[in-house]
């Protein structure tokens, strides 16, 4: 069995999207990204970014320029004690201005090519993996690859849904909430011993809208880290399909997180 992974879109998922990002100086991590990536890595997930970069096909950016942008993003993440295991990008677009890159490609989302390539090169179990992004292209690519999916869809940056676009497994307002969903599902599968199950744990919305219209994570008010730690301990007791020593404690902790 391969390792589990969280595949991540780049723009408005990990970093802010100013349009076609060509200047490394304009790279800005979104709030909470570093903590989310640390948390996922500690839970045993590989972290792989998969991003469409049509700016290359359009002649707005070279591959070397994109590498400099990603080097700056990687530096900022490293300064915060985290990082990605791999980065994949698609430079192609069917209407590009650069002949070399002006074509259709299986790598370009909503096609799953980047995810499938990463899975092959990093021994990733796609059935235990997630695709997280802020567009329905991300969701379609993830589903086609056999991953579970989370759409980041905030009121500030609502995703545009077209006719025929599939629904994601879950929705979140930011990567922090998406991380909580991934970790809760992972722990629930370990606790129940149903690691092969595709049924998702119902997760109560963890956001509240203030009168100003801003959005915050109510789960941050909980001592979530301590709860996850206790759940992980209980989950270890079920690693050999044994029943947890205190099933009633498991249910109480799950209820506490979901409350």
pLDDT in tens, 118-175: 999 999 999 999 999 999 999 999 999 999 999 999 766 778 888 899 999 999 999 9
Q: Does residue 247 register a pLDDT over 70?
A: no
Distance separating alpha carbons of residues 29 and 31, to the nearest angstrom: 6
Q: Does residue 204 register a pLDDT over 90?
A: no
State pTM to two decimals. 0.78
- Closest by CA to 151, choosing from 163, 175, 166, 168, is 168
pLDDT-based confidence at residue 189 (cuts at 50, 70, 90) = confident
pLDDT-based confidence at residue 235 (cuts at 50, 70, 90) = low
Beta strand ranges found along the chain (DSSP E): 5-8, 46-52, 86-90, 130-133, 148-152, 170-172, 207-209, 215-217
Peptide bond into 154 cis (omega under 30): no
Residue 200 is encoded by which pair of tokens? 């998702």
Complete domains list, the chain, with CATH: 5-258 (3.40.50.1000)
Active-site annotation holds for 165: no
Distance separating alpha carbons of residues 23 and 3, to the nearest angstrom: 34
Active-site annotation holds for 9: yes
Q: Does residue 53 register a pLDDT over 50?
A: yes
Distance separating alpha carbons of residues 81 and 104, to the nearest angstrom: 37
Distance separating alpha carbons of residues 6 and 133, to the nearest angstrom: 10
């Amino acid at each position: 069995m391969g390792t589990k992974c969280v595949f991540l879109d780049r723009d408005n998922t990990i970093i802010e999207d100013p349009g076609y990002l060509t200047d490394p100086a304009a790279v800005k991590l979104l709030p909470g990204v570093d903590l989310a990536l640390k948390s996922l890595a500690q839970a045993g997930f590989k972290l792989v970014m998969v991003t469409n970069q049509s700016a290359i096909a359009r002649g707005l950016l070279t591959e070397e320029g994109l590498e400099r942008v990603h080097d700056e993003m990687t530096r900022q993440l490293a300064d915060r004690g985290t990082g990605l295991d791999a980065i994949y990008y698609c430079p192609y677009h069917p209407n590009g201005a650069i002949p070399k890159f002006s074509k259709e490609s299986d790598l370009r989302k909503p096609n799953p090519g980047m995810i499938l390539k990463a899975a092959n090169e990093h021994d990733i179990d796609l059935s235990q993996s997630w695709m997280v992004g802020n567009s329905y292209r991300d969701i379609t690519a993830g589903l086609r690859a056999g991953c579970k999916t989370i759409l980041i869809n905030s009121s500030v940056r609502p995703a545009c849904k077209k006719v025929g676009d599939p629904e994601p497994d879950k929705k979140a307002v930011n990567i922090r909430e998406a991380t909580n969903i991934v970790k809760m599902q992972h722990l629930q599968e370990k606790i129940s011993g149903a690691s092969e199950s595709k049924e998702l744990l119902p997760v109560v919305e963890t956001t509240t809208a203030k009168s100003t219209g801003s959005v915050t994570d109510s789960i941050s008010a909980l001592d979530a880290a301590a709860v996850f730690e206790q759940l992980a301990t209980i989950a270890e007791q079920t690693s050999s399909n044994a029943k947890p020593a205190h099933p009633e404690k498991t249910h109480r902790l799950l209820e506490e997180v979901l409350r």
